[in-house]
Structures are given as C-alpha cells and as structure tokens.
Chain A
C-alpha cells in the first residue's frame, strides 16, 4: 500500500478506539453515522491522551499498544455511565416534530444532506489538487509529527532546540500526536496526504452534527444548521488554506462540543461525558480551544449548571482538565513550558489601536465572499429566533471568542496588521458554525418540565 493511503488508513483506528463508549445504549438513539463519527472524535482524544501520558512516563510509542490502551480507556469510561431511569434511551432520545412534514418541507433534510455532501466533495477536491494546503503544515505541524514519529515519543530535545523555536513548542499535542501515529504506521510522513484530513474531518462533522442537534426534536433545523456550517467551513477552509494544520480538528471538536451542550443532558451521565471529551479535543487541538472551552463551560454552568449533579460536573470538566493538565505537566517536567506563550502582560493593551484592528479584521472577513460565511449563519440564527436560554451557550461562546481575539490582537505590535491578515480568517471561523448551532438550538424538554406545570408545554418541542 502506498504510504499516503496507509497514513490515512491509520485514522480508521480512531473510531475503533472510541467505539466501546459510543456503543453504550445511552447513545442508542443517535444514528449509526453519527455514532461512528463521534467514536472517531472520542477515539482521537483518547489516543492522543494516551500518547501524551506515555511520553510523560517515557514509554516509547507503538501503534498497537496505543490503540489498545485508548480502546481500554473508552471501555473504562463506559463504566462511568449509569442506567437511565427512563429506560435507557438517554440524551440521544429523538423527539418527533409534532407537525407532519408536507410538500417541499419533506425534502428539506435530503436537500441539506446533498448540500453538505457537495461541500465535503469540493473540500476534498481542493485538498487533493493542492488548493487548500496550509504552509503551517511544512513550517511546524508536519515536521513535529515527523520528528515525534522518529523518536516514538514527544521529543523534548526537538522541542527545546533553539533553531526550532518558531515551531511553538507549547502548542497543544493532539494534531501532532495523531499525525505521528499515522507516520509511524506509514513509515514516513506523506505530505500530500496530510491535507486530506481537512475534508475527512469535515465529513465527520457532517455526519455527527445533525444527530446531536436533532436530540431535542430540532431535526430539520439540525440538518439546515449542519449544511450551513459544513458549507461555511468548506469555503473558509479553502479560502484561508487549512489543509494539514490544526484548524479543522479544532473546528470539529468545537462544533460537536457546542452542539452536545444545547440539547437534553439525560440522567445517565452520557452527554456530560461526551461533551467533556469533545472539549478535551478542542483544548488539545489548538491554543484557541482553551478560551472556547472556558467560555462554553462558564456559559453552561451559568445557565444550566443546576441540571447537573456533582457526578455530571465531574464527567464534564475532568476530560479537558486531564488532557490539558497532562500536556502542561509534560512541558514542565521537561523544562520546556508551564503554559501557553502569551503576548505580553494581560492588560498591557493598546486601546488606541482598536479601530485599526477592527478595520483589519473586517477587511479579512469581507475578503471571504463578502463575509457571507459569517453573515448567512447570523441571518439563520436571527430568523430562527431561538429562545435566548436555549442558544446562550453557542451564541455566547461566539461573542466571547470575538472579544477574546480582538483583545489578543490589541497586544500586537506594529506588525499586527500582518498577524491579523494571517490568522483572522481561520480563528474567527468558529463564529460561523456557533451561530448556525445557536439558530438550531431548542430548549431542553427536561428543563421545560421543571419550569412549567403543563405537561403539554413540556412536550412542545419548541
């Protein structure tokens, strides 16, 4: 088998690793494609975590051992789920739309699926023809993965080399870990194949998102929001060239984590655990995953925290804390880093540069089809007009990310215009799918049961 195919085929181990957890009947009402995609996402988080912990313990990596350990971890996590007192249909329970579909509306899910499929196909063609590859693949994601695969660990000497300081030694480990895993399988890093991860992960998003958004009965809105999110990310991924870098993995984890927190939580712990694992994926994919996770958790606890018992809180918060903690512990134990590199003192900002920064960010976002990838999800959310309480997590996270990125840019020096030009299109992309998810958000029927006395109201899907 050619190295490129072998390299890509290695990623089939990820759904295998995550399967023991997603095979639990708590997730039984999610569709098979949705569960398969979520298994891959969970498997990615667990394999990467095992790789980081192995590096921390100075145990050399081997593909079978890592896969087996991650699969075992998924099986152990399965034990953390309790039987649902309602009969085990869990948080994936689909609530049917009370109104029968008529006419063109009946075709809506199919049309949305076709649109999402077309977006994935276009992203695949762009990646395969060399139209979407990120230069960062060659500048740091790829060489790090290649070096770690050769060393069969996260090589501290490589990260510490002064000549390689530009490779951002504290960047979180998930993407380089998984690329190193595939490189160990294939024998070398096939540069042309790495960019294919962009459409593959986009396809995973297209499979998983409708299931998560459909849990509260918002099936049509879920498919529409998915089509919109996938098309926006396909466009932005090609326009700002994300093939082979950490952006698409981050977007996948962020979108799924946000979607998992807008629906019912169930009583078996399955959804907090899944959300926690997806947040762990986000915080270990790219630095921007940390403010995202912080915003999502703060908004969730502020608005729905009372719906979780202590066990649910632990299941939600522990995975991202362990994933990020193990990375920082590795950095500290090797004398490399104790946290992310900052951009100067926290409040040492240049407020007078705010208009210039907003103008530069606006110019970058407008350069993406006139800003349509952001304006269309905003329009979708405004027309859908979800209840604020239902949409607060994704909508609030979108607002928090915008504020955080602008605040970060305020720390830049004179060259921040170039910095913005290089990064804004990619780092603001989550705003697009967070708005789409906000538009598809519906109140959790269980919370309505608590707040309202009328059983009819509690079953009204909206």
Chain B
C-alpha cells in the first residue's frame, strides 16, 4: 500500500482491476461455500436437528434423545445422564447438553447426588438401575430406585 501520490490515470486502472479481482474472488468463494452444502437431495429438507450436517456428528443423537426426554420428563425432576460404556468426558458433554435441552429440570453430575431420573443415550446398559420409563432408538430413560 504505497503512501506517496500515484499518477491519476494509473490509480483508477488499478481500482478497476482490483474491483474485478474482488468480484472473481467472491464468485470463487461462493463456489467453495456451495460445495459444503448438504447433498442436492437434502438441500430443501427440514433437518431432524440443527446439527444434521455439522462436524459435531454425535450431537444429532443426543439432541434427538434429549428433546424427546424434554417432552416426557416433568418439570422440577432431577436428572442425570449416564453413558454406556462409562465415559466421564462424554457424560460431562451430555450433562451440558441436558442443561440446555431440559430447562426446568435439575441436571445432576452423573457422579454427584442421585437423581430421580437416569438418562442413558445409546444402547441399553447390561444392568440398568431402576424402572424403565421408555426407550427410543436414541436411548433409554429410567426412574431410579428410591434410596
């Protein structure tokens, strides 16, 4: 970016060239963005979740599981999310999802105070604790035994 004066005719020519560089660049980037869209068959499909085609693939299943739970678990209930097989990192991530998707419920750490309801995304655990409330392809929900 030169600081000194330039010949009046040269500068508009550079401007014109720059403007076409800008236009060509924008067309190129629009093309690159288009390539990142979902397949043509799904371009106008309503997604199941906001994450259907994102890089956060696991978010789709947990989102479906917890939004279903939100319509079935009463307000005020305490819940915790348990993974199968046990995975502390996944459980913490899912706890955070539950905080968002289960408003009005008390979301406990899986290692913390016992909750009224246990949410287990994915396959059914070998030894579930409590009574099965319902099960969907994305996971199961148990009412825990009173302690």
Contacts and interface: CB of A to CB of B under 8 A. Distances in A.
9 contacts: A119-B33, A125-B37, A126-B53, A135-B54, A137-B50, A138-B63, A231-B28, A235-B33, A389-B3
Interface residues of A, number: 76
A122 B32 CA distance: 10
Interface stretch (B18-26, B81-89, B121-129, B133-141): B18-26
Interface of A: 99, 105, 108, 111-112, 115-116, 118-119, 122-123, 125-126, 128-133, 135, 137-139, 142-143, 146-147, 150, 163-164, 166, 191-192, 194-195, 218, 220-221, 223-225, 227-228, 230-232, 234-235, 238-239, 241, 243-244, 369, 372-373, 376-377, 379-389, 391, 395, 436, 438-439, 460, 462
B32 A192 contact: no
B147 interface: no
Contact of B28 (A241, A372, A386, A395): A372
A225 B20 CA distance: 10
Contact of A376 (B28, B36, B48, B101): B28
Interface residues of B, number: 56
Would you call the interface of chain A mostly helix, strand, loop, or mixed?
helix
B49 A234 contact: no
Contacts of B142: none
Contact of B25 (A116, A123, A138, A228): A228
A372 to B, nearest CB: 6
B29 interface: yes
Interface of B: 1-3, 6, 8, 11-12, 14-23, 25-30, 32-34, 36-38, 42-56, 59, 63, 67, 96-97, 99-101, 103-104, 107, 109
B38 A129 contact: yes
B30 A379 contact: no
B22 A369 contact: no
Contacts of A387: 1-3
A228 B109 contact: no
B59 A135 contact: yes
Contact of A231 (B17, B33, B38, B97): B33
A389 B107 CA distance: 56
Nearest to A111: B23
Contacts, number: 206
Nearest to A193: B50
Contacts of B59: 135, 138
Contacts of B51: 130, 133, 135
Given A125-B37, A139-B96, A381 B1 contact: yes
Contacts of A439: 18, 22
Which 3 pairs of residues, A with B, have the shortest CB-CB distance? A224-B22, A130-B47, A376-B25
Contact of B103 (A99, A147, A192, A224): A147
A369 B14 contact: no
Nearest to B52: A130
Given A372-B28, A372-B29, A372-B32, A112 B16 contact: no
B47 A192 contact: yes
Nearest to B55: A241
B13 to A, nearest CB: 10
Contact of B1 (A194, A234, A388): A388
Given A380-B22, A439-B18, 19 more contacts: A112-B22, A119-B33, A122-B30, A125-B37, A129-B37, A131-B37, A143-B103, A150-B103, A150-B104, A191-B101, A218-B15, A227-B26, A228-B29, A231-B33, A232-B26, A369-B32, A376-B25, A376-B28, A385-B18
Nearest to A138: B100
B54 A131 contact: yes
